[in-house]
Chains A and B, each alone.
Chain A
């Protein structure tokens, strides 16, 4: 039974500069357990950088990132994944020359331990592990509806399925937090609808979801909580409705010229938000 309001991932005053450019500026965010949290903002706001900071590709200059209470900073990407955070990539990084099944199998690598000798000798433990791994991969593929493509090479997949494969692969790592970087990018209306259903299904199965997205239909449709970034800083956060109406957000996206400064630091705790 998940506890609403418990914080799974906490970013606190996280900053990152590249040369003279402040990509992320004292960023705070709490991702609540069991929620779908979205991070939105104009292009170049620093959203993917936040993802890369969480997953260990970059190291923050300041601040802390705590996952399930433990500090993530300093961990390498594969350690972050092993700790329970899985991700997809904005530009899609599939293992192109391997089959879909092999792609999804990769997720199980960090959950298994057969070594060189046991693999050569095919010990009973190794055989058991192989069966479990294949079973799990099959489950993940069926969850996203890709089981029929299992023997197809990833490079031959049509675009809409490529995204789904990446999600299946991420799910195969048995994560507690799934980070999706613009999962709806390039999808048509129907595919977007299917994706929304899929993400909600993932959330309902107990995995917390954190996503970057530009498609407002997706963000408003499935998010429990939305955080808005611009120029590396958080400029607003709240439920989808709150954020939609926030003048700061409108200004950031549409650039309305306004002398009055409406913006203030939005730093509420996401307590007991309604799950629609």
Chain B
């Protein structure tokens, strides 16, 4: 049995903006440490495996997001079940919005979400595009945001970080992303995890700790290339803001 079962939700529909880099990063950073990892792709016709350890849900185009929102209602219960069992969930952009309570478009009815994050998203008039740097646990996370939806956090969700450069959740309150227990969502493409290896490792540790019920200390990897990409992306964000 694999140490970690990584599930890529709607890999075929919610796959623009290079979010695949997150899957590669989780997979390789496990493999480099001899942590065995199995990856399953779960789409419209599939059910969410109950033995999921990490679930990733990326961003998509508006049309795909509509379809996914409808299909998601069939998977809602199993996703809530995973979240309640502290399975690690990471969602980006469209996936992040759909983990919330709803997405309210300019016209028509609300697209219902899963509700494992206490967030609401409403369509905005201005697209928030650009390099993005946020303060996270005394470090920085760097990525690229491209969204028009404005996300507002309810009382049960905490922001993932504070916006240093960029727009963040809504362009108003300097918050970016949301966290509840082991559920993480944010707007950072880039891909997020390759350039933010400590965040990636935190997700892996949490997944292993949940499974083994023991404190996990991951052996360090040589992250010279990752750190350099992080530094240069932060510098570029400053130059282009």
Asked whether A and B interact, the reply is no
B contact residues vs A (CB 8 Å cutoff): none
